[in-house]
Structure 1
């Protein structure tokens, strides 16, 4: 257990670069260096974690820890990997609320960084997603629906429609290799975990409505965000924006500033929720937002994997996964248009900085921490 914790703590301190980089760190550490799992098992775990809603890198870490020393080690692995980022994001929130750095120019720089990072994520997701005749139509259609019919359940509807298109219109595939992955979790526990996952999805909104308490409102918003994110950590942006900005809990500027800083932090991007929780309700908000945004990942990992060896045999599973990923990309594209781009780019100079940051990320492969520094400095160099 100690070995698991300190190994993941080390990765939590050095894993800069976002979800894709985290997966590379895990591969090097656990497949090549420590040989905790084979390459075949790693690929199988990754395929399932990318299919499940939630942060793929965090779920993969839970899986590796659980395979190493049981389900408790899976929880310890998550704690080690996530704790540094939580502390850093809450620390940023404390500084922001204390007005220790009051000049708003650096604040605007963070918004430009966030815009460039989201644009880069969209480009990468487009390139890495599978080529398909329906791809462009699902992405653009999902983006337009999310823009025109913005609402609490719009993203869920878009994802379900995408899944339906994949099931009924995509050609069946059977390209998943067979690899046995067992967590030694009893089937009964797995079914209880999945049942609890769906129960909370419907129970928390009712508790929020009938009680009127902020604690239930925070729990509901962050649980739904963690439960409905398909396509990677960046897709959590529109869900969280819909939950916390449109409800008036925090302003767009604070939201985008925190998102910009999250790009330069090590560890999972979902710890952005810890910052939001602090901005909404202090330390109690941190606990609620962090616990409930990650809770779906635990319930799905321990509920889904024991059933995976049977589910994976259905050829339609891959087509549904592909279609959901296209829909998730469309949702992210809509969030980039509004509010990310429109809240960051006000002038020709802003557009120049945005394009420059995007160019540095795409063509020169400049790391996110350096992009953050450049973005923070850029507003102070504005000659106009």
Structure 2
């Protein structure tokens, strides 16, 4: 008997525990096909829906890897809930499963938002919206505040401190005349680096401030049989992850060079470069991308403030990720192909990078310091969500009636668990009721 026989036997036993790829792909279709139709409420609600569906109800995966993937997605640029959908599917059916899950997740809202972006303003004047759209922005903002609150409840003492720090810095760089708002493109990744480094340092202290997982024995510090099987299901080698990172960076560099260095004026290329660049530097998911998108697409003349918030309200009322808003932006500016290009641009970086990280995660997920790193990234990203709340509120709440809608819809969402579509409908009804065309109450500019 050769010395390799036990290893070969173990490999064969592990392979026997993995179902055929075709069966696993069918599992993904069966479990994910309708999620894009029911996932209302934003990222925090999406995480709850996915956990209930995949972990608790169908026993598709264990809770621990699910939460690890949530933290990993929160530490990458891109839409957190979408990356979580992709990652959970990849753990079962590899890259094909992840791609199928992505399509099923985004397709329903993409179709609706693209249609709205193309046709809505052919009969609606953005400068004088109908009364049923007046209260939608305030209701949409209330849902973002709810998501921020839900994330904060999961933080430990150090996590709260990191979230406060990142939120304060983000507010400062966007609210100081001496600091260019575009500096957030460099500051946000730096904040995430500081957050991850802080938890790594704290993890190695004898009396840490935060709470961390630690192996109970030497055996616990190595990959288990379940870890090895998981890596095989993922089906992406380390070199594949490295290649994906190279592809992501190459697309970013080439698009920036073509638009800014060579001054290419193609409208679709400009849409792709803008959305892909934003998608590459956005940490914290869809809630953080909204103020950055607004600061870019409105000054460029792609849409007005009113169109932005009305489209945001429509996006909030639909299932799926907030990054679907890119379809509305692209369709409003450049029609159907503009929607496709904008969606590929904004989703592209996060899509590529979550695939790139999966083989690395599968091989180091049992390492305690890596778990600590994810905690720091997650806490810092939550703080960035808080800064998004501050600036979106400032932009959307113009009159006292807007604040009234925000208070009522936010209370219904947070304390009465009203679902997102109903919150948007309620905001629409209240905005119409308070408008000058109805009761005409609360029309004084807010804060004056």
With structure 2 as the length reference, what TM-score do the two structures score?
0.77
Structure 2 counterpart of 1:159, from 189, 203, 212: 189
The equivalent residue for 1:36 is 60
- Length, aligned pairs only: 383
Shift of residue 273, structure 1, vs aligned partner = 0.8
Structure 2 counterpart of 1:374, from 426, 437, 448: 426
Conservation of the 8 A alpha-carbon contact between 1:66 and 1:73: yes
Distance 1:162 1:64, change over 3 A: closer
Q: Which has the larger radius of gyration?
A: 2
The equivalent residue for 1:341 is 393
Distance 1:332 1:253, change over 3 A: farther
Structure 1 counterpart of 2:104, from 51, 69, 80: 80
The equivalent residue for 1:354 is 406
Shift of residue 288, structure 1, vs aligned partner = 0.7
Shift of residue 257, structure 1, vs aligned partner = 1.0
Distance 1:342 1:135, change over 3 A: closer
Conservation of the 8 A alpha-carbon contact between 2:43 and 2:147: no
The equivalent residue for 1:298 is 351
2:163 and 2:315 map into 1 onto residues whose CA distance is 29
1:17-56 matched pairs, under 5 angstroms: 17-56=41-80
SS of corresponding position for 2:157: coil
Shift of residue 375, structure 1, vs aligned partner = 0.8
The equivalent residue for 1:15 is 39
SS of corresponding position for 1:234: helix
1:321-340 matched pairs, under 5 angstroms: 321-338=374-391, 340=392
Structure 1 counterpart of 2:143, from 117, 120, 127: 117
Shift of residue 373, structure 1, vs aligned partner = 0.7
Conservation of the 8 A alpha-carbon contact between 2:317 and 2:420: yes
1:34-82 Cα shifts (integer Å, max 9, x gaps)? 3333334333333322322222221222223323333112111111111
The equivalent residue for 1:220 is 273
Distance 1:56 1:249, change over 3 A: same
Q: Which moves more between the two structures, 103-112 or 27-36?
A: 27-36
Distance 1:55 1:138, change over 3 A: closer
The equivalent residue for 1:136 is 164
The equivalent residue for 1:188 is 239
Distance 1:326 1:365, change over 3 A: same
Q: Which moves more between the two structures, 302-311 or 352-361?
A: 302-311
The equivalent residue for 2:123 is 99
SS of corresponding position for 2:427: helix
1:154-303 matched pairs, under 5 angstroms: 154-164=184-194, 166-167=196-197, 171-172=202-203, 175=213, 180=227, 181-182=230-231, 183-209=234-260, 210=262, 211-303=264-356
RMSD value, Cα? 2.7
Conservation of the 8 A alpha-carbon contact between 2:35 and 2:105: yes
Distance 1:175 1:15, change over 3 A: same
The equivalent residue for 2:417 is 365
Conservation of the 8 A alpha-carbon contact between 1:360 and 1:366: yes
1:24 and 1:93 map into 2 onto residues whose CA distance is 30
1:189 and 1:227 map into 2 onto residues whose CA distance is 19
1:185-216 Cα shifts (integer Å, max 9, x gaps)? 12222111011222233332212112132222
Shift of residue 314, structure 1, vs aligned partner = 6.8
SS of corresponding position for 1:128: coil
2:74 and 2:195 map into 1 onto residues whose CA distance is 19
1:147 and 1:77 map into 2 onto residues whose CA distance is 39
Q: Which moves more between the two structures, 8-17 or 40-49?
A: 40-49
Conservation of the 8 A alpha-carbon contact between 2:37 and 2:108: yes
Distance 1:307 1:255, change over 3 A: same
Q: Which moves more between the two structures, 235-244 or 120-129?
A: 120-129
